[in-house]
Structure 1
């Protein structure tokens, strides 16, 4: 069966089920599917459903996004896409509430490896748009996003406190798909190889040799010493984290009063961990060094103030464990997590074409080692200096004491 025949068969099977879930007031429904867009992990189909609202007696339209795993077998295996789709489907089935600030989900079906599907509202039609950049946006975007993740974590803590059985049932169903000791050596190498880019730059600039030696030794095993260790849940602050909290996964809407309203999307990497997983990922992949240096404590305070408000409004008791100092300490212990991700992914967010190189690895046009070398050099000295300044900021914040 050709790719087009496979798609036509699949869409004819899926869309009647999606339409059935739209509600009993929908009749005479028909749909149009636009050309799909391929992303790294999924294929997105944009669907316009036209129907008659029998309650209102008028014709209406609804824009949807259908997410389906990509067809490339090697990519699915390398990125554990079965587990990623499982987690996102679990999120929408068990954690999502229709009245909360998420895209509305109309249908999910888990059929690995390629026929799983998630049908979501296309929130672009509600006025939500990507941020002006995927890196180094104005402070107002940073604060809006950080307050949203504060609400997201508060939602988890409230369920953990008040619906413990339901919360941990969701946690137990999550599948690890990113930071596990079971990952193969080539995937660990990808992270370990990039981790010391900043240190290499500092050596070239004549920076303190003892500092560079200690950081080199520690970062040579960054996958195990930073990523796996930080991702492990630590009580009492462990909560459901987004897991991929970057500007790529946040859309914004400007309200009538001029305020930015963010919305989180893409929950494939949802995990049970401490907030530093989300906070450090966002701060080191979305903020410029200048914004983070000048506003770090204001940003963390905005996060905590939002979280505390929602916890108090929900009647959560024993607030001592949710103190500002507790979250700041959690951040300092695990902040290298976001820095390591930045070491291999920041160039992509800054517009360097890492995906094109990765595609060549998938097709066999480039060896893995050549890819690692070119990716580490991507963006040149400019990116190396940004990463080096990040590392020194971490040192100044006291996040490297356990290493130095």
Structure 2
């Protein structure tokens, strides 16, 4: 669902049989008397790596007259060789979010009478009873696009995305207060879908080959001392959270997973997708994941502190709708402490994700054939400045 969608094929018979069966169920639930479907297999040029993507348009007649719905499908790739992810759990988590949690979140926001512009926006989904696929409203048909993965995010996009992130985290704490038993059973038990194993170390080493080429000799020496600690640092900050205030984290909060709608040159709305990496952890981690792979040094110099302040201000404003005080839920001092303690993860996210984000469109990894530890990419030369700026910032901040 990236701005550069490519139609691979089209017609009425290209969907795999399980997906077609699910579409038939949706047609029945939506009350179509007669209908016609048009299906397309699409590519997002690297915007999505964990599924085959399809668009389905359903046009027909219901008891209420002529109707059309547009559906986006993400279907699990059979026999994916991804040793660093629990793929089955990824799809279970997203099904859980759209099938259960999103309805509860909508209900909470409705009862609090939160204005539309102040809500956490959730994409409409369709219950198709298929554990290997996600069916949701195709927002591309409504003019939503994404920032290209190699571009620095626009400031307005970053601001609205940070506000949405704060509301997403806020809903987790609201849920914990109002439905403690559900929260304890369904949310606190969620572990990261990333598996920190030998395959993940191979992935780290593999990405190092590409980032190392971007650096001058001085930066290479400085970063060399940090590299052996990447795996342990990730484990500490993702898994070991004793004493930290935790909530439901998105886990993959980056520009490709945030759809935006524009009015001329102005970004008016964003909606977040891809909930396959949900886990119970520290909210600062989502902020790091968004900022460092999606911005450059100049952007961070101008806007990082303001965005951090906007996150906390937005969290406080959202919690007020539920008569909750942000200083009681997540004190500012604790937020700042966690940010400083986990800042090194921002460097790691930048180093690991940037080579994949900067992969040329005709060289996107095929995870049905290769695993993360062995994928080969051909990054755009624009990656050089991004990596040098990333390392430069962490030198300046004393992390390196």
Q: 1:312 aligns with which of 320, 324, 330?
A: 320
Contact 2:49 2:366 in 1 (8 A): no
Q: 1:191 aligns with which of 204, 210, 218?
A: 204
Q: Offset of 1:360 from its aligned partner?
A: 9.6
Q: 1:53 aligns with which of 51, 62, 71?
A: 62
Q: Which residue is equivalent to 1:386?
A: 389
Bigger radius of gyration: 1
Q: Which residue is equivalent to 2:9?
A: none
Distance 1:337 1:164 in 2: 30
Distance 2:68 2:170 in 1: 34
Per the normalisation by structure 1, the TM-score is: 0.80
What's the RMSD between the two structures over aligned residues? Answer: 3.5
Q: Offset of 1:7 from its aligned partner?
A: 4.4
Q: Does 1:101 align with 2:121?
A: yes
Contact 1:47 1:63 in 2 (8 A): yes
**Residues 16-55 of structure 1: CA deviation (Å, up to 9, x unaligned):** 2222343xx543243221234474210111001113231x
Q: Which has the higher helix share?
A: 1
Q: Does 1:230 align with 2:246?
A: no
| Higher RCO (CA-CA < 8 Å; seq separation 6+) | 2
Equivalent pairs counted in the alignment come to 371
Q: Map residues 5-404 of structure 1 onto 2, 5 A cutoff.
A: 7-22=15-30, 25-37=31-43, 39-54=48-63, 56=64, 58-71=65-78, 73-75=79-81, 79-97=85-103, 99=106, 101-111=121-131, 116-131=132-147, 134-172=150-188, 174=190, 176-178=192-194, 180-181=195-196, 183=197, 185-192=198-205, 194=207, 204-205=217-218, 212=222, 216-224=224-232, 226-232=233-239, 233-235=241-243, 237-254=245-262, 258=266, 260-317=268-325, 319-349=327-357, 351-353=358-360, 356=363, 358-359=365-366, 362=369, 368=374, 381-395=384-398, 400=399
Contact 1:201 1:388 in 2 (8 A): no
Contact 2:190 2:279 in 1 (8 A): yes
SS, match of residue 369 in structure 2: helix
Distance 1:26 1:137 in 2: 41
SS, match of residue 96 in structure 1: helix
Contact 1:50 1:61 in 2 (8 A): yes
Q: Offset of 1:196 from its aligned partner?
A: 9.6
Query: Kindly tell me: are residues 88 and 309 of structure 1, through their superposed partners in 2, closer, same or farther at Cα, counting changes over 3 Å?
Result: same
Unaligned segments of structure 1, at least 5 residues: none
Unaligned segments of structure 2, at least 5 residues: 1-11, 107-119
Contact 1:348 1:355 in 2 (8 A): no
After TM superposition, the structure 1 stretch with the greater mean CA deviation from structure 2, 160-169 or 375-384, is 375-384
Per the normalisation by structure 2, the TM-score is: 0.80
